[in-house]
């Protein structure tokens, strides 16, 4: 079987880091410890496990961070080398049904055969599982970081039946790649911090920013959704998906101030007569601001910006995977801002869905009875909401291009600069090599 394999190789890791910082994201892939190899297919001979054939797999920001070697070292103890990356997986079952499925990639107590499960898994919040390094398979927080299961950038992999969701016929293979990131976005939006009269700022208009925008409009329908988008085509997509206000990153702080009519502080007291520094005119912070800011970028800059545009006692939700950042937390402290993380998915509390007229979808969850992980009453699996949202908002259109697996170098380079090339999500398609389709 052919697959992209990520090996523990510290010298190459260091090289990739240097190279990506010089050449830009995605460009380091040829220098990274990632290689295209013939490997024996993974096999997990445990109850509930099966092999599925990959139809497509999206390249996630966290995959880019891994090949660019800028991912946080936090993960070191919850991955097992060598692993096959890729967790935005669309696959076909071999069990005779031929069902197409998307995969909830977290490797929690249930796939690991841990019974009784940890207290988070017991209630369905398997994204918070505390046993990611125990049980019948190797350590790994999710598929795509675990040696045992294999990953999405290959021809096939092993999955546990509890991780599968059937794809409705009206969502194509490539389109279905967007379901996993949509689930992450929904999970962030349903943290319960966003009320209907909120002004919500969304930082970034890539895959996550756009999916978050769609999720906000569909599940909460808050008073104002403001999106900062670097490129015009992103701005257009954000508007289409429900943003009320879209602005360039450079005018974000001013735009938020206009919405709230508060004061802006800082940077306008300079004595430079002609104010020529590029940042002059960008106020540092606001007296008022957004009720909630969803940071889809996770950089030092985006977190600082988030703090400057969040109102006192407001909330920042981090959905973009951050790494080591350097930020001044004084505004967080002084303005009593809550900074909360949002990782992956699991289940959602329907009482937090506030949009009027919202109809909860039926479950496509592959019922797995071995361990009690049935959704609680009033609870719904994030993936079920995601599949529903992808259909309603036609989010499949965000998958802009796909490459055959062996052209992964091009694909990663494209993914690293997809916005500049008017793209959103880039996917890899194994074996049955398809021609690269650009569907901008």
Partner 1 sequence: MPRPGFLLEVESSSPPTLFWHGEGFRLERLPVGSRVLYPPEPLKALENPRGAIREALRSPVGDAKPLEDLLFADMKLTIAFDDVSLPLPAMKAPDIRQMVIEEVLEIAARKGVDDVVLIAALALHRRMTDEELRHCLGSRVFDSFSPHGLLTQHDAEDPDNLVHLGLTSQGEDVEINRRAAESDLLVYVNINLVAMDGGHKSVATGLASYKSIKHHHNPQTMVNSKSFMDQHHSELHSSNWRMGRLIAKSGVKVFQIETTLNTNTFPENFGFLQKREWEWELKDRLGFIGASKLLGHTPRRVARSVFHSILSPHAMTSVSAGEVEAVHEITTANVLKQQNIDVEGQSDILTMGLPYICPYNVNSIMNPILVACLGLGYFFNMYRGRPLVRQGGVVIISHPTKWEFHPVHHPSYIDFFEEVLADTTDPVSISERYEERYATDPWYRHLYRTSYAYHGVHPFYMWYWCAHALDHLSQVIILGGERRSVERLGFSCASTLDDALEIARHYVGSSPSLTHLHSPPVLMANVT
Contact positions toward Zn ion, by CB under 5 A? 108-109, 117-118, 121, 129, 131
Rounded CA gap, 200 and 120, in Å? 29
CB 267, min distance to partner 1, A: 7
CB 200, min distance to partner 1, A: 19
CB 288, min distance to partner 1, A: 10
- Which residue lies nearer to Zn ion by CB, 123 or 255? 123
- Which residue lies nearer to Zn ion by CB, 129 or 237? 129
Rounded CA gap, 280 and 274, in Å? 10
Residue 109 interacting entry, from partner 1, Zn ion, none, C-beta within 5 to 8 Å by type = Zn ion
Burial 275-307 (b: 16+ CB within 10 A, else e): eeeeeeebbebbebbbbbbbbbbbbeebbbbbb
Q: Binding of partner 1 at residue 276 (CB under 8 A)?
A: yes
> Could you say which of 21, 280, 351, 369 contacts partner 1 (CB under 8 A)?
280
Q: Which of residues 240-269 bind partner 1 (CB under 8 A)?
A: 247, 251, 254-255, 257-258, 261-264, 267-269
Angle at 36 between CA 17 and CA 70, to 5 degrees: 20
- Which residue lies nearer to partner 1 by CB, 40 or 261? 261
CB 254, min distance to partner 1, A: 6
Q: Are 430 and 155 in contact (CB under 8 A)?
A: yes
CB 227, min distance to partner 1, A: 15
Q: Binding of partner 1 at residue 232 (CB under 8 A)?
A: no
Q: Look at residues 185, 181, 147, 212 and name the one whose alpha carbon lies nearest to residue 348.
A: 185
Rounded CA gap, 5 and 296, in Å? 27
CB 353, min distance to partner 1, A: 32
Burial of residue 269 (CB within 10 Å: 0-12, 13-18, 19+) is exposed
CB 127, min distance to Zn ion, A: 9
Name the DSSP class of 273.
T
Q: Which residues partner with 318 through β-bridges?
A: 295, 341
Choices 1-9, 68-76, 148-156, 276-284; region in contact with partner 1 by CB under 8 A: 276-284
- Which residue lies nearer to partner 1 by CB, 96 or 274? 274
Residue 136 interacting entry, from partner 1, Zn ion, none, C-beta within 5 to 8 Å by type = none
Rounded CA gap, 185 and 200, in Å? 14
Residues 6+ apart with CB under 8 A from 22: none
Rounded CA gap, 370 and 48, in Å? 8
Beta strands in 61-173 (DSSP E): 88-93, 100-103, 156-160, 164-166
Rounded CA gap, 68 and 58, in Å? 17
Q: Which of residues 125-154 bind partner 1 (CB under 8 A)?
A: none
Q: Give one word for 159, left, alpha or beta, with left for phi > 0 and alpha for psi -120 to 50.
A: beta
- Which residue lies nearer to Zn ion by CB, 93 or 381? 381
Q: Binding of partner 1 at residue 225 (CB under 8 A)?
A: no
x/- contact string, 281-300, with partner 1 (CB under 8 A)? x-------------------
Q: Residue count of the chain, please give it.
A: 440
Q: Binding of partner 1 at residue 275 (CB under 8 A)?
A: yes
Q: Binding of partner 1 at residue 440 (CB under 8 A)?
A: no
Q: Binding of partner 1 at residue 274 (CB under 8 A)?
A: yes
Q: Which residues contact partner 1 (rule: CB under 8 A)?
A: 247, 251, 254-255, 257-258, 261-264, 267-270, 273-276, 280-281
């Amino acid at each position: 079987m052919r697959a992209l394999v990520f090996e523990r190789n510290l010298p190459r890791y260091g090289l990739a880091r240097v190279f990506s910082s010089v050449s830009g994201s995605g460009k380091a892939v040829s220098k990274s410890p990632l290689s295209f190899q013939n490997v024996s297919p993974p096999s997990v001979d445990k109850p509930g496990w099966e092999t599925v054939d990959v139809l497509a797999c999206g390249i996630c920001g966290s995959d880019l961070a891994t090949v660019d070697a800028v991912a946080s070292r936090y993960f070191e103890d919850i991955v097992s080398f060598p692993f096959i990356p890729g967790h935005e997986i669309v696959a076909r079952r071999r069990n005779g049904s031929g069902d197409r499925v998307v995969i909830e990639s977290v490797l929690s107590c249930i796939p690991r055969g841990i019974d009784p499960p940890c207290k988070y898994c017991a209630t369905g919040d398997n994204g918070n599982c505390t046993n990611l390094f125990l049980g019948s398979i190797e350590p790994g927080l999710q598929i795509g970081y675990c040696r045992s299961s294999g990953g999405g950038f290959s021809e096939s992999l092993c999955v546990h039946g509890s991780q599968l969701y059937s794809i409705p016929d009206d969502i194509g293979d490539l389109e279905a790649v967007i379901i996993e990131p949509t689930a992450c976005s929904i999970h962030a939006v349903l943290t319960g911090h966003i009320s209907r009269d909120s002004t919500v700022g969304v930082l970034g208009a890539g895959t996550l920013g756009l999916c978050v925008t769609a999720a906000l409009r569909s599940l909460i329908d808050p008073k104002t959704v403001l999106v900062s988008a670097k490129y015009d085509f992103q701005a257009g997509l954000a508007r289409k998906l429900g943003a009320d206000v879209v602005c360039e990153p450079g005018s974000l702080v001013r735009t938020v101030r206009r919405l709230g009519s508060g004061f802006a502080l800082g940077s306008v007291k300079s004595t430079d007569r002609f104010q020529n520094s590029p940042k002059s005119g960008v106020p540092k912070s606001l007296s008022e601001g957004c009720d909630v800011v969803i940071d889809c970028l996770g950089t030092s800059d985006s977190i600082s910006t988030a703090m400057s545009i969040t109102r006192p006692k407001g909330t920042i939700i981090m959905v973009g995977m951050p790494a080591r950042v350097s930020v001044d937390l004084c505004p967080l402290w002084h303005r009593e801002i809550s900074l909360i993380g949002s990782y992956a998915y699991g289940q959602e509390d329907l009482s937090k869905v506030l949009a009027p007229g919202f109809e909860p979808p039926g479950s496509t969850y592959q019922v797995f009875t071995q361990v009690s992980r049935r959704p609680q009453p009033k609870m719904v699996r994030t993936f079920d909401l995601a599949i529903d949202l992808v259909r309603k908002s036609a989010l499949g259109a965000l998958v802009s291009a796909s490459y055959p697996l062996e052209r992964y170098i091009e694909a990663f380079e494209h993914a690293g600069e997809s916005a500049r090339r008017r793209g959103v999500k880039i996917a890899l398609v194994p074996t049955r090599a398809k021609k690269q389709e650009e569907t901008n």
